[in-house]
A and B are shown apart, each in its own frame.
Chain A
């Protein structure tokens, strides 16, 4: 089996999060950022966490990636406990994190190169994923020559080119204008449909959450806890028109109320 079929063949794992606690600082100054978070994301699922800013949803993602150390609890991906970052968990960040010194193609092949794949294998992978995100023509551009939306498309291609078991996305479209954001959401759904990766996606945009998710986890802040789990059974493929549908609006209202209660409790 050649590299491309390996990379495009669905390979995804579950994410098990069990009673995870995250505390910053020590003694009286300690801040409890996450308090007893538990949930399970099944293989191929698109799971979205929505919550107010500062509720710890990004921290949770960094814990799954192994970029931060949890204070307590257990996280495992594909049955393997998370102890440090690794290429089995691809991540797309809110900030632009393309390597500015590498071209678009070199950015995408960075992961495969670390794995020791041959130049020919890498070329096939780069071609496939740049085509997938519609940037084949920009292979030799530097990131500084791209718009924000294009940068995030390359970041998605770069994460997928590494063939991770799960894809972690931390408000990847947060810095984009609404037009670009919509087209990115469409693109992501199409790519997810092809790759069938397990996705854990964090956002504060409720429309985005419902539009993308199989399941939405609503988080409350300080300390971060999962408040409610909402299953989104809207048919796929989904389009932007869904935002006007009654059951979409009903779900949106429910999430808004949950987040609003949270605000009221704080005051």
Chain B
């Protein structure tokens, strides 16, 4: 006989299934292969650690076996030691700070305009009719093709990199935010009217709070894109930043520095992602 399911057990649902079928091995397999079924926290942590381990293990195997020359793929520990030495002499932080600064300025300027304009666009058909064709045209233009133009117009200062980021994410933000405003349930707005909400207050009182969780998701996703455009901008014209040191390292065959720069961007991305999730939990507690 199997024991009664223990609710505090990390694999409680697996135990529950085994009570039903009396076949622990097969039912555990059935549980994890059931679509959309939740997986216990220890299991999911174990899996993510295993996948990371496999990637880094593969890295070790490729470099130590000599399958790939160190000129193209540095050994893990040389990336780590480069990171430590650049962190200690302060040059790493200088470049990280330069990149973070550009991303933040570009992202904030873009978002401050895109959120209210997107909500207005999604709420008022007349604004949508006016802007939609233009926005949809611009949004398909590759940002990279504008980099030379921006250099010509604004030079190679920080303004140029900020402009690339704004151009890269603003129109995408606008379209996605307008979409979520448009999908606000009509009867929610109707209910607000019957409770005394004035037409002019609809965006602020109803559309904005109703779309807030979506808007925060849009910001989180476009923050990731901002990092992509940052590197594009820094590769072309910059005197500092993670993209800039990658380019400089390539010229000197310092592959370990390129790897370090990539890893730093990944880590910074992970941090901002978690930050946005935290903000969402804080300002939109009803979705928790």
* A contact set with B: CB distance below 8 Å: 62, 65-67, 85-87, 89-91, 93, 95, 97, 99-102, 110-111, 114-115, 142-144, 155, 158-159, 162, 164, 168
For B209, give the chain A residue with the smallest CB separation. Answer: A101
Contact A93 B190 (CB under 8 A): yes
Query: B188-221 CB contact bits vs A (8 Å, 1 = yes)?
Result: 1011111111000000001001101000000000
CB of B191 within 8 A of CB of A93, answer: yes
Q: How far is the CB of A141 from chain B (nearest CB, A)?
A: 10
Is A101 a contact partner of B210 (Cβ separation < 8 A)?
yes
Q: List 23 A-B contacts (CB under 8 A).
A: A65-B193, A65-B194, A67-B194, A85-B193, A85-B194, A86-B194, A86-B196, A87-B194, A91-B194, A93-B187, A97-B185, A97-B187, A97-B191, A101-B209, A101-B210, A110-B192, A110-B195, A115-B196, A143-B286, A144-B287, A162-B195, A162-B196, A168-B194
Most chain A beta-carbon contacts within 10 A, residue among B192, B195, B196, B212: B195
- Complex interface: chain B residues within 8 A of A164 (CB): 194
Q: How far is the CB of B223 from chain A (nearest CB, A)?
A: 23
Q: Which residues of A contact B194 (CB under 8 A)?
A: 65, 67, 85-87, 89-91, 159, 164, 168
Do A99 and B188 have beta carbons less than 8 Å apart? yes
Q: How far is the CA of A90 from the CA of B197 in the complex (A)?
A: 12
Chain B residues at the A interface, C-beta cutoff of 8 Å: 185, 187-188, 190-197, 206, 209-210, 212, 284-287
Q: In whole angstroms, how far apart are the Cα atoms of A102 and B114 in the complex?
A: 25
B286/A144 in contact, CB under 8 A: yes
Question: Is A97 in contact with B286, judged by CB distance below 8 angstroms?
Answer: no
Chain B residues near A93: list those with CB within 8 A: 187, 190-191
Q: Which residues does chain A contribute within 8 Å of B185, judged by CB atoms?
A: 95, 97
Expressed in whole angstroms, the minimum distance between the Cβ of B183 and any Cβ of chain A is 14
Query: A109: shortest Cβ distance to chain B, in Å?
Result: 10
**Are B190 and A67 in contact, with the CB atoms below 8 A?**
yes
Q: Given A95-B185, A114-B196, A162-B196, do A101 and B191 touch, yes or no (CB 8 Å)?
A: no
A155 to B194, CA, bound (A): 12
In the complex, what residues of B have CB within 8 A of residue A115's CB? 196
Check if B193 sits within 8 Å of A101, measured CB to CB. no
A91 to B193 CA separation, bound complex (whole angstroms): 10
Give the chain A neighbours of B191 by CB distance below 8 A: 91, 93, 97, 99, 155
A111 to B196, CA, bound (A): 6
Complex formed: what's the CA distance from A95 to B194 in Å? 15
How far is B209's CA from A65's CA once the two chains are assembled, in angstroms?
Answer: 24
CB distance from B188 to the nearest CB of A (A): 5
